[in-house]
Amino acid sequence: MIELDSFPRSPDESIAASGDPGLPGPSQEIDALGLSEGSILNALRAVVDPELGMNIVDLGMVRSVEIDSQGVVDVKIALTIVGCPLRTQIETDVTSMVLAVPGVSAVLVETGFMDTQERSALMDRARRRASETAEATEVSERTRILAISSGKGGVGKSSITVNLAVSLAKRGLTVGLLDADIWGFSVPRMLGVSGELRAGEDRKIVPLEKTFGAGKVKVISMGFLAQEDSAIMWRGLMLNKAVEQFLRDVAWGDLDYLLIDMPPGTGDVQMGLARMLPRSEMVIVTTPPLAAQKVASRAASMARKGYLRIAGVIENMSSFTCEHGGSYPLFGSGGGERLAREIGVPLIGSVPIDPSIAAGGDEGQPVSSDSGNPMTIVFEKIADRIIRDIAPVVEMAGCSARMLENVEAALTQASPAGG
């Protein structure tokens, strides 16, 4: 077996006869054996990437197929990452499936690795396939969906989500905030929002709102349906149904961003979200210790299995600065940067330990809403990075659909009552 960092790409190798990038070129019949690239590719379509759940041909992992006059088939496969844990299984499956083709005498499997651009194209292809079967929701197509996730609890994920939502809203944006942590809901208290949910037009649930600066945050949480100290003893099916209802039966309206405060771990809710909203982008929250980084990497693995793009990493509790100016890394340092480097995404920002963050959450006054608090600047920088580089808001003011909506609204206002 030959291991390659990259493969030479001729035009035939990079563009298939079907026009899809990443597939081998036109079939070349081997007259004596009746073999062709087409017959080998058909066999390779039975080889499924266990993580992505799609065959390696459609994923663009097959770089080339070569057949010699003795029936020896050389297959070049591009794996997604160096050190792919599924490499042996994929190689074994490729060998087994190709050997089953009549006329094949031996199989050589050469493995290389995708670069960043190729991995991005692969995930886009997988997301498009997943979107074809995704259920309809009330979340606008232009909305950027950020699932704020963590490998385990206790890393401050909810406080990051709430303060980020406020920082985005202060820029004049409309932000949805879905508290998908059904068991451990905390967003209502941290955001200072309370009340009962009601049904509006078309019997859709109307989210509660709170204004911050020129924008607003629309909130949905199990906390509006249950007492704060009540135990929600639901298992996977009920949890998924609750999240589905929050996405399908809530009148979210025209959002710029939807932030989803995910439950910790990689369970039923995470898998349900990937199925319903495959265009979601995951932001992983971790703390500095190496142990926390390793647990958080499981959330990244789950995202890949669900075709979700990982937008970046936010490190929480990065250090503590005392009143004399000394900075102390109480929980270690570098975990966020190490995780971001390991999974190949940017470190969006680091949030230091500061008592005002917890105090603001307890009082329902997020620290990011206080312009006089230094922590506000920290969250504003993270929000700016997201808007500018990580997940820019989709501006549709000039698109045909938005123009037609504006014309329709103007005509409705101009028409006489009952006309």
Q: What is the mean pLDDT of each run of 10 residues along the chain (419 residues)?
A: 37 36 45 74 83 78 90 89 74 88 90 81 68 66 89 86 97 93 82 87 87 94 69 53 78 93 71 73 89 79 74 89 71 82 90 92 93 93 94 60 50 51
- pLDDT, residue 93, reads 86
CATH 3.30.300.130 in the chain: give the residue spans: 11-129
Segment (H or E) for 330: none
H/E stretch holding 63 reads: strand 62-67
Distance CA 340, CA 286 (A): 10
Residues of the chain with CATH 3.40.50.300: 135-390
The pLDDT of residue 180: 84
pLDDT given at position 312: 92
Backbone φ and ψ of 244, nearest 5° = -60, -45
Q: Strands 347-353, 309-321: parallel, antiparallel or unpaired by DSSP?
A: parallel
Q: What is the pTM of this model?
A: 0.63
The dihedral through the CA atoms of 200, 204, 205, 206 has a sign that is negative
Beta bridge partners of 77: 62, 111
H helix intervals, 69-141? 87-99, 116-132
Superfamily, domain 11-129: Fe-S cluster assembly (FSCA) (3.30.300.130)
Report yes or no: 155 and 313 within 8 Å, Cβ to Cβ: no
Q: What tokens appear for 227 in the block?
A: 């007492």
Task: Please state the CATH superfamily assignment of the domain spanning residues 135-390 in this structure.
Answer: P-loop containing nucleotide triphosphate hydrolases (3.40.50.300)
pLDDT for position 403: 44
